Amino acid sequence: MRQSLSLGRIFGIDVRIHASWLLAFAFVTWGLANGYFRFVAPRQGLGTPLLLGALSALLLFGSVLVHEFSHSLVARALGMRVRDITLFVFGGVSNIGGEARGAREEFLVAVVGPLTSFALAGGFWLIGRSLGGTPGLDLLFGSVRGLRSLTPALAILNYLTAINLLLGAFNLVPAFPLDGGRVFRSIVWGITRRFGRATAIATTVGQGFGFLMIGLGVVRFAFGDLFGGLWTIFIGWFLTQAAGASRQDRVLRESLHAVPVGSVMDPSVPVVDRQVSLQQLVYEHLLRSERRRLIVVQDGAPLGIVDASAITSVPRDAWPTTSVAAITTPIPFMVSPEADAAEVLSRLDERNQLIPVVVEGRVVGAVDLWRLMRFAKLRRQLQVQVGSTRPSTA
């Protein structure tokens, strides 16, 4: 996810926070402080409820992070590549490269998330019991008098018990791309033996559930629950969009399956020697073409990527004496012309990545997300079948 800040690596996995997380954190903190914790600490002004709300919001997102780590660690144990975990406005997402190789793997990676949330709920409940209390579902069903009898610590544990139960239950709803939707897809996949068919069914169910959420939000809004209604509509919209995007992504991958990168790559991608000055780069390369990313080479061998935006980090008067090597970034990975284009797509982490195509250590072309999407769209429009005659370039 773009517009995110890295917090560091845990178990070798990059943990990131998206800018939208701040909105979610503020929303949860204010909602708890102005509602739940006002009953718990009615005579403490707003300061104490805000503090308790902020602490509970942090622990909530900590629970979400543990939930996502369960997905990522199981996926990695099954041989999948985990790029990062990002917390954002709707909770969290594990960025796992590629698809599961079978229905069993998909089921295991998906179901462990809700099970982890249920385990966290049980853990917080047990901690409350050890403190002499009995945290339960007072947040959902308790009376105001019952809430006022809770100490701040037990109130937080009560909240975390209830919210993790809700997270686990909500994620078991068979609405793709929720965990339950992925569990549902794995079951359909196992029955039909057709991953594409299972994805189409799961995403259709996911969009249907999203529309139901939008309808429920409209009803809540009409009956005066303005914030709850808008939030429900927002979640429903997110589910419909995410399910639709998942379907489009699957169609894209199917269009690229078994297509060699050599059929998609740009064979005329420009390269620039690492010793070239930034002034030469600007006037002899960038201003003479529409390209904004070039492959940096030394004696024809690829060394890195240079992006036009990086030049602004160097003062103008230093351009003649600064080499391209000073602003070169590492190459994410390299591929051969025979590589499967669908596999390359699954390894692309960012929209603007440029991937060199190499033969015997020499650059023969490059491929990026735009070229892959363009090729897939054209191929579907022309209804070109896998194994038919293909042009060498697109």
Cβ 18 vs Cβ 86: under 8 Å: yes
Q: Report the distance separating Cα 219 and Cα 226, nearest Å.
A: 10
Higher pLDDT, 85 or 387: 85
Across residues 133-142, what is the average pLDDT?
Answer: 55
Which two three-digit tokens encode residue 47?
A: 């300061």
Q: Say what angle helices 226-256 and 369-382 make with each other, to 10 degrees.
A: 70
What are the pLDDT digits (tens) for 288-340? 887 888 999 988 789 999 988 899 889 999 999 999 999 999 988 899 999 98
- Which domains does the chain possess? 4-256 (no CATH), 261-382 (3.10.580.10)
Q: What is the mean pLDDT of the chain?
A: 84
What are the pLDDT digits (tens) for 340-375? 888 888 777 655 688 999 998 888 989 988 888 888
Residue 281 DSSP class: I
Q: Report the distance separating Cα 220 and Cα 193, nearest Å.
A: 41
> How many other CB atoms are found less than 10 A from the CB of residue 62?
13
